[in-house]
A = this chain, B = another copy of it.
Amino acid sequence: MSAPSAEKLAAVLDHIDAHLDASVERLFDLIRIPSVSTDPAYAEDCRRTAVWLAEDLKAIGFDASVRPTVGHPMVVGHADASTGPHVLFYGHYDVQPVDPLPLWNSDPFEPTLVPQENGDTWIVARGASDDKGQLMTFVEACRAWKAVTGSLPVRVSMLFEGEEESGSKSLAPFLDEAGEELKADIMLVCDTDMWDDKTPAITTMLRGIVQEELTIRCASRDLHSGMFGNAARNPLQVLSDAIATLRAPDGSVTLDGFYDGVRPLPGEVEERWKRLPFDQKGFLNDIGLSIPAGETGYSVLEQVWARPSCEINGMWGGYTGDGFKTVIPAEAHAKISFRLVAGQDPEKIRAAFRDHVRAHVPADCSVAFAVHGGSSATVMPIDSPLLQKALGALSEEWQCEAAVAGTGGSIPIATVFKDRLGMDSLLVGFAKFDNRIHSPNEKYDMSSFHKGIRSWARILAAFAGRQP
């Protein structure tokens, strides 16, 4: 079909509103299958969930199937369209375990509607938000387009995974096998939060990471600090000396070449971030702090989204029990990670870090490093046409400027698709900060579900080229 008219979109949105109850019923059916991926006792439930999803996609008109893996199966579906780009939607049908069960106010796998004072209604259940509710916003948007117009505005493929909550061990092998089938112009993911209750958000910047563990060895055994103190090198002192020099007084990271390739924030992104209703003081106060610890001259949002970091995630050595032991330990250990931004090469950062530490280790001591993974940052350019179209569609639905967000963390699925298939990811989510995912009484707001479906319906239309 050609680019849809405004009238067709309006009809699709009306259809969504008129059939919301049926959409909710389908979500409830999906939630009722306890697809806990980490517990082998639920393996058959995971398989049933995959079958349910494949059948549901077929009902909409997708060419869909369950694909076995060594773990829980994948679900893949395709629906062609004559116009527009090819999008791959990713979601996961597995859920976290429910314990501690006594803390739930209702059966985790029997979705319960709980009216709220603000007029909204919570859908309370395990997976209501993460990720069954969010996943179904996209499926229901496709269903409405098919029901009203008989086709989709753009070509859509879907991939549902059943191991996201337990390490995604089958994902990389599956992409090796099915990569060409899944390769599209962009990946859409619905597994993130709104900016706030009223403001939708697209996450376009994901920091990468380099993780290192190091062991500094000095004496060949633990020593008595009375007998040897002063003369014998103390590895905890060596380690502290090395760590203390990782950050300059202005908060910048001192590794040689650390900021090579790091570019300033594009003007449009900087302007959008300045307009975001972000309470920097409140953000820090919530965690008991008041002074931003990163580079001076950068806002807190820039520090956590757009600037690379160095963090000591763990450190240990010597006697750590009750009381006191006057030991000079033989070894000291640390786990240290760097969050990376676009332009930084993880392996160059890793090498610079090791050189830095080695330069602090005396000639009669040694240091050993262990790799704990690394990945590049990913960023979708702010002037990407699909990003701009999605922003426009969201702003129309929510009647406010959609937020362009970064995330300080890494999102493995985005990195895997970027690395393996060269695909950028557009992360649009309708979850709220208080959804208690992974915790008892997980919930999804009915408004998230309803306006999420409408948002995707608009985004698909926008991708197809509909003029606002």
Chain A residues engaging chain B, CB cutoff 8 angstroms: 207, 209, 211, 213, 218-221, 223-234, 236-237, 239-241, 243-247, 251, 283-284, 287-295, 300, 303-304, 307, 309, 311-320, 323-329, 332-335, 337, 339, 362-365, 372-373, 407-410
Contact = CB atoms under 8 A, between A and B. Distances in A.
Nearest to A299: B231
A196 to B, nearest CB: 16
A193 to B, nearest CB: 11
B312 A221 contact: no
Which secondary structure dominates where chain A touches chain B?
A: mixed
Given A314-B320, A362-B291, A236 B243 contact: yes
Nearest to A209: B326
A317 B318 contact: no
10 contacts: A213-B324, A225-B311, A225-B408, A227-B407, A230-B251, A234-B311, A236-B315, A239-B315, A293-B362, A315-B316
A267 B158 CA distance: 86
Contacts of A309: 225, 229-230
A173 to B, nearest CB: 21
Contact of A408 (B228, B318, B365): B228
A351 B163 CA distance: 55
Contact of A293 (B233, B314, B318): B233
B232 A339 contact: no
B221 A287 contact: yes
B218 A289 contact: yes
A211 B304 contact: no
Contacts of A313: 225, 318-319, 324-329
A293 B235 CA distance: 11
A304 B228 contact: yes
Contacts of A316: 315-317, 320
